Amino acid sequence: MKYIDLTHTFTDNMPVVPGDPTPSLKQITTIEKNGYTDHELKTVMHVGTHIDAPLHMIPGGKYMDEMPVEHFAGTGVVIDVRGKNPIDETVLKGKNIGKRCVIFLCTGMSKKFRTEEYNTLYPEITESFARAIVDMGVKIIGIDMLSPDVDASFPIHKILLPKEVLIIENLVNLEALLTSSSFDVFAFPMKLHAEAAPVRVVARIP
């Protein structure tokens, strides 16, 4: 088995969605002074590699800790959409997408992480694409970019989350999966009573 880490490392200078407060990850004790090392983390949920639960956009939607744990693992499918804009339902043709699959869209935008272009020039995902994966029974979509939405009214979030199609944003290393015909995905978030959570996403290739 080969394991591919698809998660950005969380550091003190993590970039945020414009307008969100800056997170902080600070060492607050040392072994030399205190006898042990401890760090303090202060962050909003939508920083780095994270997963959105229904409550993020849906009144009365489930909190992250209310999602069943089996929702966070499954068979993965990666689709190469580098250079494509918009990303529509045609990219799904010929793909082996079964019910309860996890879909990753490899846009190549992860190479621009921590740049202004990452926040402003990512491709658009169409509403027809979002409705198509809902109809297919997909349970998670993961992207290597800031958001599935370009429109500030968040139409893609509002199509996916009511159907409990969870959204992972800010993935990395999806290119490493492009030659794999099959792989398993493990995307277990922190068990937080919140609308989203940091998540460690790993693909296992047979």
What average pLDDT does the chain have? 97
The pLDDT of residue 69 is 98
Give the residue-averaged pLDDT of 106-116: 97
Closest CA to 48 of 4, 5, 15: 15
CA distance 176 to 51: 21
Give the residue-averaged pLDDT of 103-110: 98
The pLDDT of residue 204 is 98
pLDDT digits (tens, 9 = 90+) for 113-172: 999 999 999 999 999 999 999 999 999 999 999 999 999 999 999 999 999 999 999 999
pLDDT digits (tens, 9 = 90+) for 25-57: 999 999 999 999 999 999 999 999 999 999 999
The pLDDT of residue 3 is 98
On the question of pLDDT at 18 being above 90, the answer is no
The pLDDT of residue 181 is 87
The pLDDT of residue 155 is 98
CA distance readout (Å), 77 to 74, 97, 112, 171: 10, 7, 23, 14
The pLDDT of residue 91 is 98
What's this model's pTM, rounded to 2 decimal places? 0.97
Enumerate helices (H) and strands (E) in the chain, giving the number of each: 4, 10
Delineate the domains of the chain, giving CATH numbers in brackets: 2-9+45-205 (3.50.30.50)
CA distance readout (Å), 150 to 121, 133, 143: 9, 18, 13
